[in-house]
């Protein structure tokens, strides 16, 4: 019947000839690579004289094709997802404010890490040195242009030209870095939480720039670091930048001040320079996932002397400076409607006491 369907061709002879030809090419070492389909149908009566163990489908495929892997490698998959992401970003950018926020923040942090990688070899030539902060500042100044953020600075004449001092500033978000770099005086380094030291390239770049790291969870270590910083202030004519709130505050006000910075200034008998950055509410809000262009006001207030003060005077000193900073913060902040009324609501966040 099969011979009739094949127009008289002897199929058994043709198949047997192909198998013999394959074995002559690939040798007996290929006999162990069996065709699963033929293994299951070894009882087939069509070609009872053919030994299934001598059949392999490989001779019918070019060696290049037979050796190809059907599943892509990890780098191919990574490239695929990156291309997919590049295609999705423009689409989401036009339809989602949240997508814009996350994309901008991801680029902001990623760009800072990239700049840190570039800065490390240059800073390493000097070793750990506060002068390296000039390099970091120079590399970070342009970021405000990428995001359309305008910084209006006033009061820089209040910085003492030669003597050491302690700078205290309000802390709202990671965008504070832009305002800090805009007004950062010479030989001034920030005090940062110790976790930043382990933040990869950024931590290493900060360490090379002389940033002072403290462990906020271990009070004894923090006190010893502050005492060492006081000695460094006087011996090396260094200025220190501190965020006395201790953490970021998104509530449009100021948290109660921690007193470490004020103890540092009193111990070293150096002046305190308050710096106030206006609210970011008109162009940045983490809760609302909103990040657009806008203007930030930066005010450098007159120095507050600490000569003759003792540790007993620190609580009153901290409260007095916080009150003056909060007053200026309310004056220069805006909610995008020109009034900043959200800061002045009775009982609101703007009325938080010391």
- C-alpha–C-alpha distance, residues 257 and 246, integer Å: 7
Residues 83, 49, single domain; the answer is: no
- C-alpha–C-alpha distance, residues 350 and 328, integer Å: 12
Residues 31, 94, single domain; the answer is: no
Residues 314, 173, single domain; the answer is: yes
Last residue of a domain, one of 66, 91, 112: 66
Backbone φ, ψ for residue 167 (5° rounding): -95, 130
- C-alpha–C-alpha distance, residues 115 and 202, integer Å: 9
In a domain, 8, yes or no: yes
In a domain, 273, yes or no: yes
Contact 190, 149 (CB under 8 A): no
Residues 287, 172, single domain; the answer is: yes
In a domain, 335, yes or no: yes
Q: Domain holding 144: CATH number? A: 3.40.1130
Contact 281, 342 (CB under 8 A): yes
As beta bridge partners, residue 168 has: 242, 274
What is the count of structural domains for the chain? Answer: 2
Residues 343, 235, single domain; the answer is: yes
Residues 212, 114, single domain; the answer is: yes
In a domain, 47, yes or no: yes
**What residues make up the domain containing 20?**
2-66
User: What is the per-residue pLDDT for 71?
Assistant: 60
DSSP 8-state assignment for residue 273: E
User: What is the per-residue pLDDT for 45?
Assistant: 45
In a domain, 72, yes or no: no
User: What is the per-residue pLDDT for 230?
Assistant: 82
Query: Model-level pTM?
Result: 0.70
Which residue ranges in the chain fall short of pLDDT 50? 1-16, 19, 22-23, 25-47, 50, 52-55, 57, 335-354
User: What is the per-residue pLDDT for 236?
Assistant: 87
Residues 27, 84, single domain; the answer is: no
Residues 122, 199, single domain; the answer is: yes
User: What is the per-residue pLDDT for 17?
Assistant: 52
Residues 203-212 pLDDT 10s: 999 999 999 9
Residues 143, 290, single domain; the answer is: yes
Nearest one of 231, 139, 209 to 178, comparing CA atoms = 139
In a domain, 54, yes or no: yes
Residues 56, 149, single domain; the answer is: no
């Amino acid at each position: 019947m099969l011979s009739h369907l094949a127009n008289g061709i002897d199929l058994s002879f043709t198949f047997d000839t192909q198998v013999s030809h394959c074995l002559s090419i690939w040798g007996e070492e290929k006999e162990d690579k069996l065709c699963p389909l033929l293994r299951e149908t070894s009882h087939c009566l069509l070609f009872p004289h053919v030994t299934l163990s001598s059949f392999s489908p490989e001779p019918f495929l070019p060696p290049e094709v037979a050796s190809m892997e059907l599943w892509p490698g990890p780098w191919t998959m990574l490239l695929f997802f990156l291309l997919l992401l590049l295609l999705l970003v423009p689409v989401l950018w036009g339809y989602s404010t949240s997508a814009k926020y996350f994309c901008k923040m991801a680029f902001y942090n990623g760009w800072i890490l990239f700049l840190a990688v570039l800065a490390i070899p240059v800073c390493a030539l000097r070793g750990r040195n506060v002068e390296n902060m000039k390099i970091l500042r120079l590399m970070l100044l342009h970021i405000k242009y990428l995001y359309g953020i305008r910084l209006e600075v006033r009061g820089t004449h209040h910085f003492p030209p030669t003597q050491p001092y302690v700078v205290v500033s309000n802390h709202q978000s990671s965008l504070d870095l832009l305002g800090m770099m805009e007004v950062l005086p010479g030989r001034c380094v920030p005090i940062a939480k110790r976790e930043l030291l382990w933040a990869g390239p950024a931590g290493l770049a900060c360490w090379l720039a002389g940033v002072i790291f403290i462990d906020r969870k271990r009070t004894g270590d923090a006190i010893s670091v502050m005492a060492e910083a006081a000695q460094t202030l006087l011996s090396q004519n260094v200025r220190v930048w501190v965020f006395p709130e201790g953490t970021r505050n998104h509530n449009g006000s100021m948290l109660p001040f921690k007193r470490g910075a004020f103890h540092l200034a009193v111990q070293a008998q150096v002046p305190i320079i308050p710096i106030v950055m206006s609210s970011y509410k008109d162009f940045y809000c983490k809760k609302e996932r909103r990040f657009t262009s806008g203007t930030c006001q930066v005010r450098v207030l007159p120095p507050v002397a600490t000569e003759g003060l003792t540790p007993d005077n620190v609580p009153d000193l901290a409260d007095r400076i916080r009150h003056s900073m909060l007053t200026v913060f309310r004056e220069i902040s805006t909610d995008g409607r020109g009034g900043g009324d959200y800061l002045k609501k009775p009982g609101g966040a703007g009325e938080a006491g010391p």
